A and B are shown apart, each in its own frame.
Chain A
């Protein structure tokens, strides 16, 4: 009962004309920067921060939050249309979303992405409202051993991602792990694989690899095959999903939402992990996993739902404990403090208008995004009719601008070009870049957390199995491995790949 009272109060705050306007500006700006590759919510919020000094704190936070989850919506658009991940978390959407677009189902993919995101956003608004504080306290139980075991489980499950040649997939995972090591070691500060370049001291950006391999690589290989280009630009099919599409997507959206919500509450995970995990689970439970990578609608629905769920639930540790789960969140906390509000458990009681107003505005923002995005689908899809001789250079230019603007570094642009070349090579050798990206994301986090766990336990590895949460993840990982090794499953894998 109190929940409804609080939510009603929140909607009262969020529905004021001023707050609605700021919410709209936020999601609009967010969608735009989400569509543009590389330009992430972090840089945008940093630039807009001074503008919010003179705006009431509730309105300021509503707008900043709108930018954040608006970007998550927009990020999927370019992934689907042109294989260009607009946002780090939407890399996985490239795989099947782009294939759908090539089959003339771009509109369907965009619609499912928007619907999945909206559903996830609605559920997570409720989760934040109902269970925020207790969930946040639970998330604090995750220390380094727990994070390591969680990531280990993720990497083991990655074997499911392997398509075709097992050996090639493993090689790509290892390559990803190696690429992830580049940069300063967290524990000792020693620079690894930097070749004396200060530009590599902070590691290679995920966006750089993703844009290089997916966008640049895709364009060049398209150019080498004139027939493919024709197919790509001439087929633009139905704009909206059929009943069958929606039926097929319901379960993946539910699973993606659950997974994204769980991982979102943990401050130590990134949205890309949630999307990877959602994709892997869909592939695992699918009756015919071979459809994945060739335009499976589940491969769009689940990760997009997971992505948005993760983004919304990241507000739980921030609003209830004052813990920034990402750099973007840290910026928002900074904005609160500029307004003289101390983030933390006190916010709920001392500033109920802010807390409940923000929660209500999240749902309103999600609704605005759907209304904004669905009619735009027709416009986005018609972009595909632009002749490739105009479209391809435009994509290259936007990619370069996006990558440059992340760190204002031209070095990053060269690096993306290099990964573009590598991307073509991998394509020619039939190596999928997805396992590589997974290794790249999980590897460094696993290393960091394992070393920290061992440092704290004086080098005693049993710390991983004496802590209950960590033990649970280890047990699941072992189970997955055992199931994979079982002859019947092995045979099935062989059938699929053969």
Chain B
């Protein structure tokens, strides 16, 4: 009787082991680097067509399609400052076939909104793609020729200078509030619906200065309609190497650089993350992609999966502080 039982249990155990082995083998083969991807991928861009996220996303999708041999389909899911598309990606199947483009907004949105997902746990970082600084420009009627002179001017007339801004919770807004805090000055922030209308207002001389994205201001700097005082990156922009950073020109430690990266839903198998990371590293190294980034006022700025997570965490902490101290509320 007991013999019989043990024989049964042995068979049973063997069966379980066999099943487990098959399961492990099957999973491994599904995610083996050579069989992934077996179908088209979806790249969610949490913004409508047209903005920097869209440009970066479409560029990456095109190049990634070529390298992976499977189509990477762009899916614009704009709305609510990127929250809608990000939520959709957070709740997607973590099988490596749904990816998400994010920008700096991903790092400060948790401080602005009550999100329908946990930003610290919802995603697996794949790679940082690039970054582009803001630029501090003034209308030529403003006498300030340097960042220092602008700060002095603001100190002489507190609350009088007008800064055109792309909207509450935009990256420009974050950069402006950080500038206000770190320079210790007071000025009016006038909000517009997007960077375009804000820039138009400054072109007409209705507002005095702005911290717009470099790509938008460059044409007007070149035509003399704007005077550029500094760029917002940690180091000088490769596009305008003669222009000092805001940090060197009067606000030590200032940095407001927008960045773009690619994430996958949490739980995406490690081999898939590795594969994507490898492909992205390769495509970012090409001169063509580097040039396309530069033409959009940005630089390729690759960071691998392992370091990208801590980078995002650092950004979250930095902007959370700005949102809190500047008392930005959008709820």
Contact = CB atoms under 8 A, between A and B. Distances in A.
- Mutual binders A and B: yes
Interface of A: 42-43, 45-47, 49-50, 140-144, 184-191, 198-199, 201-202, 267-268, 317, 321-324, 327, 330-331, 334, 337-338, 340, 342-346, 407-409, 448, 452, 455-456
B200 A323 contact: yes
Given A143-B206, A327-B50, A344 B219 contact: yes
A268 B200 contact: yes
Interface residues of B, number: 53
Interface in B179-237: 188, 190-193, 196-197, 199-201, 203-207, 215, 218-220, 222-223, 225
A322 B193 contact: no
A454 to B, nearest CB: 11
Contacts of A409: 77, 79, 84
A140 B79 contact: no
A140 B219 contact: no
B260 to A, nearest CB: 15
B119 to A, nearest CB: 14
A324 B79 contact: no
Contacts of B162: 456
B58 interface: yes
A338 B80 contact: no
A331 B168 contact: no
Nearest to B54: A46
Interface stretch (B15-23, B272-280, B323-331): B323-331
B295 A186 contact: no
26 contacts: A42-B49, A45-B49, A46-B58, A47-B49, A50-B59, A140-B203, A140-B205, A144-B201, A189-B167, A190-B329, A198-B87, A199-B79, A267-B197, A267-B200, A321-B225, A322-B223, A323-B199, A323-B203, A338-B295, A343-B219, A407-B48, A407-B76, A407-B78, A407-B79, A408-B75, A456-B188
B169 interface: yes
Given A50-B58, A140-B204, A189 B199 contact: no
B329 A338 contact: no
A198 B83 contact: yes
B228 to A, nearest CB: 14
A408 B77 CA distance: 6
Instruction: Name, among A141, A143, A185, the residue most crowded by chain B CB atoms within 10 Å (CB to CB).
Output: A143
A477 B167 CA distance: 30
Contacts of B84: 198-199, 409
Given A198-B80, A407-B78, A186 B192 contact: yes
A46 B190 contact: no
Contacts of B205: 140
A449 to B, nearest CB: 10
Contacts of A190: 329-331
B206 A330 contact: no
A342 B77 CA distance: 29
Contacts of A188: 168, 329-330
Interface string B291-329: 010011000000000000000000000000000000011
Contacts of A456: 162, 188, 190, 206-207
Interface of B: 48-50, 54-55, 58-59, 62, 75-81, 83-84, 87, 112, 116, 162, 167-169, 188, 190-193, 196-197, 199-201, 203-207, 215, 218-220, 222-223, 225, 292, 295-296, 328-331
A268 B197 contact: yes
A49 B58 contact: yes
Contact of B81 (A201, A334, A408): A201
B219 to A, nearest CB: 4
Contacts of B199: 323
A257 B279 CA distance: 53
Contacts of A408: 75-77
A322 B169 contact: no
Contacts of A268: 197, 200
B229 to A, nearest CB: 19
A261 B238 CA distance: 41
B160 to A, nearest CB: 9
A186 B330 CA distance: 10
Contact of B200 (A43, A140, A338, A407): A140
A491 to B, nearest CB: 43
Contacts of A321: 203, 225
A45 B207 CA distance: 31
A42 B49 CA distance: 7
A409 B78 CA distance: 9
Given A186-B168, A327-B50, A338-B295, A345 B223 contact: yes
Nearest to A329: B196
A202 B79 contact: yes
A186 B206 contact: no
A46 B75 CA distance: 12
B81 A452 contact: no
